[in-house]
A and B are shown apart, each in its own frame.
Chain A
């Protein structure tokens, strides 16, 4: 094993440690919340961490098998966030700004 290969392995190894720490902290945020939107943002970051892991694995083993998986994740990773954001908008009715159209008439309160 040449020194260059060792250096590559060391760098990607440090990256893998960072990724493990990142995934742990992201899952911690998903567990703690407090709102479901926090969890959605954490899920988006977790998808990014998974893509980074696949990239690191492709470099270490020098193959292109995982590239289509990265493609699918980057294409569909946003679907969960969009659907949950819409769902939360329907469920939480704590609006701060009242629409002039839905505002009760003066004196009707």
Chain B
């Protein structure tokens, strides 16, 4: 064997890109397991959903090298980029409204300032009123 052909280099590049995507999935799962509250877990979860998926799609396209798969993979990335913010927005909104944010971990809370400016005010301490789901949490407390 005397050196690599273009196809070989592209195959290796595609496999490497898929490996990077798999590593992003792994990092997200690790963050999901280790991070302390829902908002920081969402931060970890978005890595494979956008960057990871784009890297994976690029890797598959570099390996397959056909226009049909290129069209499908562009659609995969585009749909994911269009739908991931929708779910992230709704989950984040629900997290804030049902008070599952650990406020002592926040550096700044712009939404609280804006809510206060709009006439909303802090309700009674919501810690006591949460459902059984939130009460049983073992890692909601500082450890």
Contact = CB atoms under 8 A, between A and B. Distances in A.
A12 B12 CA distance: 10
Q: Main secondary structure on chain B at its contact with chain A?
A: helix
Interface in A1-46: 2-5, 7-8, 11-12, 14-16, 18-19, 21-26, 28-29, 32-38, 40-42, 44-45
Contacts of B130: 92, 94
Contacts of A71: 72, 75-76, 79
A12 B123 CA distance: 52
Interface residues of A, number: 68
Interface residues of B, number: 76
A64 B72 contact: yes
Interface in B1-52: 1, 4, 8, 11-12, 14-16, 18-19, 21-23, 25-26, 28-30, 32-33, 38, 41-42, 45, 48-49, 52
Contact of A4 (B4, B33, B87): B4
Interface of A: 2-5, 7-8, 11-12, 14-16, 18-19, 21-26, 28-29, 32-38, 40-42, 44-45, 48-49, 51-52, 55-56, 58-59, 62, 64, 67-68, 70-71, 74-75, 77-78, 81-82, 85-86, 88-89, 91-100, 103
23 contacts: A8-B14, A8-B15, A14-B19, A15-B21, A16-B22, A19-B22, A41-B41, A45-B29, A45-B48, A48-B28, A55-B57, A56-B18, A58-B60, A64-B66, A68-B72, A81-B87, A81-B90, A86-B94, A88-B98, A92-B133, A95-B126, A96-B97, A100-B119
Interface of B: 1, 4, 8, 11-12, 14-16, 18-19, 21-23, 25-26, 28-30, 32-33, 38, 41-42, 45, 48-49, 52-53, 56-57, 59-60, 63-64, 66, 68-69, 72-73, 75-77, 79-80, 83-84, 86-87, 90-91, 93-95, 97-100, 112, 115, 118-123, 126, 129-131, 133-134, 136-140
